[in-house]
Amino acid sequence: DGGITQSPKYLFRKEGQNVTLSCEQNLNHDAMYWYRQDPGQGLRLIYYSQIVNDFQKGDIAEGYSVSREKKESFPLTVTSAQKNPTAFYLCASSYRAKDTGELFFGEGSRLTVL
Amino acid sequence: QKEVEQNSGPLSVPEGAIASLNCTYSDRGSQSFFWYRQYSGKSPELIMSIYSNGDKEDGRFTAQLNKASQYVSLLIRDSQPSDSATYLCAVRRAPNTGFQKLVFGTGTRLLVSP
């Protein structure tokens, strides 16, 4: 079955540690996105990639990094520079770069900083 | 003023009733509108998209768009307890060039009681 796989589902991190969240899709979608969801707030865009080997900052990119070396993969690293990393992280994809509204989401990764 | 506004709820309706979920947006140039459903602890799922003024029906769901009033709504007929979820309104801007950003509202929580 086609879909988006995020791992891990739950992650605990000590302050000062970098962590990487995995996102893999087998939908053959061109574009991939990382969103962050906090209670009482809408989804906020961290990074997006419209094509392999290219990615752009979203609204809240500070403290995060990404790579897009393969069409199927778009990992997100939460660095120690991110001041408030505890959140629900959602990876999404769309068939074409212009289909930014028609998103397929992974199951999410919940990060907690201890 | 938030770009996309929704009443956080909860909106409580009895089983079988019509649930009406509302969303307003501030960018008059917005062209595309989406409704996502998010069950508690899960990721969002696209359920409706609408691009033109008027109504769009899909099964028990009807999306309504009024661009003059900058208002989009989602009606759920014959509400079921399984419809209990948070409904996210998302609006896509229409820049002259480049990335068409999707902006999410904070969501309305719907509770359907048996």
Is residue A22 within 8 A of residue A75, CB to CB? The reply is yes
Give the pLDDT of residue B97. 61
Q: Enumerate the residues of chain A whose CB falls inside 8 A of the CB of residue B4.
A: 42
pLDDT of A2 > 80? The answer is: no
With bands split at pLDDT 50, 70 and 90, how would you rate the model's confidence at B96? low
Give the pLDDT of residue A59. 93
Cβ pair A41:B106 closer than 8 A: yes
Instruction: Calculate the average pLDDT of chain B.
Output: 94
Mean pLDDT of B41-59: 96
- B90 CA: distance to closest CA in chain A (Å): 8
d(CA B107, CA A41): 8
Residue identified by tokens 């900052």 is A57
Q: What percent of chain A has pLDDT over 90?
A: 81
Is residue A29 within 8 A of residue A106, CB to CB? The reply is no
d(CA B95, CA B88): 22
pLDDT tens-digit map of A44-74: 999 999 999 999 999 999 999 999 999 999 9
The half-sphere exposure of B55 on its side-chain side, counting CA atoms within 13 A, is 8
Residues in chain A: 114
Question: Pairing state of beta strands A31-37 and A44-51?
Answer: antiparallel
Encode A53-111 in three state secondary structure. CEEEECCCCCCEEECCCECCECCEEECCCCCCCCEEEEEEEECCCCCCCCCEECCCEEE
Is the CB of residue B46 less than 8 Å away from at least one CB of chain A?
yes
Task: Report residue A58 as tokens.
Answer: 């979203």
- Dihedral sign from CA coordinates of B53, B57, B63, B64: positive
With bands split at pLDDT 50, 70 and 90, how would you rate the model's confidence at A114? confident
Is residue B85 within 8 A of residue A84, CB to CB? The reply is no
Is residue B22 within 8 A of residue B73, CB to CB? The reply is yes
Is residue B81 classed as helix, strand or coil in its secondary structure? Answer: helix
Cβ pair B42:A107 closer than 8 A: yes
Give the pLDDT of residue B26. 94
Task: Report residue A45 as tokens.
Answer: 């865009």
Instruction: Calculate the average pLDDT of chain A.
Output: 94
Higher pLDDT pick, B33 / B100:
B33
Give the pLDDT of residue B105. 96
Mean pLDDT of A100-107: 92
Cβ pair A42:B104 closer than 8 A: yes
Give the pLDDT of residue A52. 94
Is residue B87 within 8 A of residue B110, CB to CB? The reply is yes
Give the pLDDT of residue A41. 85
Give the pLDDT of residue B95. 62
Give the pLDDT of residue B103. 93
d(CA A100, CA B32): 10
Give the pLDDT of residue A4. 97
d(CA B25, CA A43): 15
Mean pLDDT of B83-89: 98
pLDDT of B1 > 80? The answer is: no
pLDDT of B60 > 90? The answer is: yes
Give the pLDDT of residue A106. 97
